[in-house]
Structures are given as C-alpha cells and as structure tokens.
Amino acid sequence: MIAVSLSAFSDDILQQPWKFEPGARLSLFYDDNVRLSVDDPEASLGGLAEIYGLLAWRTEKSSLGLRAAIDGSYYDDISELNTTDGSLDFTYDYRMSRVKFGLVTRLRYDSTLTSEDEADTTGVVQANKRRTSLEIGPSIGYDLTERARINAEYTFLDVSYEDAEAISLSNFQNSRLGFNTEYDLSERSRLLGRLSYEQYESDEVSQSSESFGVEAGFRFQFSERTTLSALGGARFASIKSDGTGQSGSDDENSSGPLLEVGLDRIYERGTLRLSLERSLLPSGRGSLLDTTIASVIVSSPLTERLTSSLTARGIRNRNPGDEVNANDRDYLILSPALRWRLNESSWLDLSYRYRWQDREVLDGIADSNSVYFGYGYDWGRR
C-alpha cells in the first residue's frame, strides 16, 4: 500500500503544476507593558516585519504545501528584546479509495517573547531567549463503511530553550497517540469517539508523566450555516518526579475532565466561532498542565472594502494536582481590528490588543495595552 501511494505521488508530482505564493507584512506598534510585568512596566514603540512564501501543489487525490517565513521585531530603546524568528511548515495528504494518509511537520526557531506570550502554558516573556521547536505528526484514516470511519494519529514534539535555567523553563519532549472514530447517524448528525495516550519527559528537572484519555461526543449541523460539535470525557495521569521540577511535588496520580466544544455560525455578512477546551498540555515549566481555553472569533464586513473582527481568548493553567505554585496562571487577550482592502492583493490593518495576566504566586495583576497599524501584500491573490 505504501509503495502504491509513493508511486502515485511521484506520478502526480511530475504531471501537476506547482504554485508559489509569496507575501509580506509590515506593522508599527506601541505597547505600554511589553514584558507584561507586574512592577515597573516598560513601554515601547516598535515595528514588526514578516516575509513568507507558500509552495503548493494539489490534485484530486492529494495535496502538498511548504510554507517558509522569516519575521523580525524591533523595540525602540529596549534593544535586548529585538528578535528575528523563522518557521518552516510542511503538509501532505493522499487519499485512496478508502484510505487517507497525512503528514504535518512544523519547525520553529523563535524567541520566548513570542512563543510563550500567547501560548497555552507558560506565559514567561520577561527575557529574550531562543526556542527551537520541532513537531512531526503522521496520520492514517480508513473508511469502514459509507457511515463509519476510524483514524489514528501520532504527534511528536521536541522543544528546547537557550539558557533555560535562567528563565525557569525546561527542555522537553512530548509524544501523543490518538484513535478517533466517527459514525454518521444522519446527514446532519455524527457520533464521535476518541482514545488517547500521551507521554511527557523533561530530563533537566527529572520529571516524566503518562496520561490516558477517553472521550465521546457528537457533531450536529443545525443548518447549512450553523454547526455544533462537542466531545467530553476523562483523563488519568501518572506523574513521576524527583521533587526538583516546577510541579513542586513527588510521584502522584491525578484525574480530571477532558472537554472540547465548538460552535460555528456563518451569517449573510460575517462569521462566528465559539470554542471551549480543557485538556493536559505539555509546557516548558517541567510538567503537563491542566489547561482550559475559551475563545471567541467574530468577523463581519462593514462595506465592500472594510472588515471588522474581534478575537477574545482566555486561558487558565493549573497543575494536575491540587497544590498551588508558579504554574497557576490566568491569562486574557482581547483584540478588536479593522482591515481596509486596498485591492485584491493588499490591505491595511488597524488593531488594538489588551492583555491581562494573574499568577497565583505573585502579588498583583499585570496588563498591557497596545495599538498596531500594518500593511500587507500577498502576491498569490493577484
């Protein structure tokens, strides 16, 4: 089967044309607390620049995409925060009569200022330290019948930090294996099931953990424009530690809920996306964290050229156990924006961003206000 897939893939590569779509974005900003510090916040003017390119190829049975990007940030009078980041994404999928193969690979070389700022876990943005992240995710799906499908997916994540000990972060590896099932009850309703196994290791703090999860749910399409999906269940984790890690505890077992709810609504003029998730996520704090994420994304065209949007996201991090320590964190980001399309390929952006953070072990709450004005050009939209 693999040989047949590779043969078909090579034939398609030779027969189908490739498409290259480059683009660039430039932004100016002002932030009144760039490090999101409780005491002595630092304000700064700055600029952001990104250059990217997408190489894509698609047929009726398969598709391939390769996206590379380089982006830099500049802070006036705070030169130690200046950073240049890079990323490389590769995606591939191939579908036979009943079988579907997939592969996703992501490579990031960035800074803790950006990677940890709005991340689901640490929020450690007080110093500019380099981070290297590699994620590899193969998957395979099979159609049992016209109504029933199964899917197996594996994800390997390796994250390392420069001078991690200086910023209380730890290099780690995380592996996740998942089995998903789907069964169509009707044209509008679908039953969902999921089993998962996850293994986390952070050698620097001598900590590792294993977790198992089981979930069941449904997907229901109320209309052509409204869809609700929900998965719920439980997870069970076994954590082994020598007591030197960020979790601050020795070996323990814990359990808790798993949840994934999403509502999508398409209006005549605009879209709405609501989501709520709770799960164990790997972090640079030396442990898995019990993380709850709620988000709202709204987009609405005001005129033929002008579009408004609102993005709100709340994150709550806790240790899998009951103890309170430096990992406990509440974070909120709120960002309304306007986009004015100059032509088919270019646009102007104006946005405001509010960030709020509260850590259990620190006295006081940190927040920041920032304004962005940007220009973008995508050659692929010509």
Contacts of 303 (CB under 8 A, 6+ apart): none
Mapped onto helix, strand or coil, the DSSP state of residue 164 is helix
Distance of CA 258 to the CA centre of its chain: 18
Task: State residue 109 phi and psi, 5-degree precision.
Answer: -130, 100
Q: Using CA atoms, how far apart are residues 256 and 261, in angstroms rounded to an integer?
A: 17
Low-confidence ranges of the chain (pLDDT < 50): 1-2, 247-248
Task: State residue 81 phi and psi, 5-degree precision.
Answer: -95, -10
Mapped onto helix, strand or coil, the DSSP state of residue 300 is strand
Residue matched to tokens 């930090």? 161
pLDDT at 118: 63
10 Å CB burial of residue 292 (0-12, 13-18, 19+) is middle
As given in the structure block, the two tokens for residue 95 are: 């579908």
pLDDT at 205: 73
24 contacts 50 by C-beta, under 8 angstroms: yes
117 contacts 127 by C-beta, under 8 angstroms: no
Q: Using CA atoms, how far apart are residues 220 and 32, in angstroms rounded to an integer?
A: 44
161 contacts 180 by C-beta, under 8 angstroms: no
Mapped onto helix, strand or coil, the DSSP state of residue 118 is coil
Point out which residues pair with 327 in neighbouring strands: none
Q: Which residue type, as a one-letter code, is found at position 329?
A: R
Q: Using CA atoms, how far apart are residues 109 and 90, in angstroms rounded to an integer?
A: 15
67 contacts 56 by C-beta, under 8 angstroms: no
10 Å CB burial of residue 158 (0-12, 13-18, 19+) is middle
Q: Using CA atoms, how far apart are residues 104 and 91, in angstroms rounded to an integer?
A: 5
As given in the structure block, the two tokens for residue 177 are: 């294996």
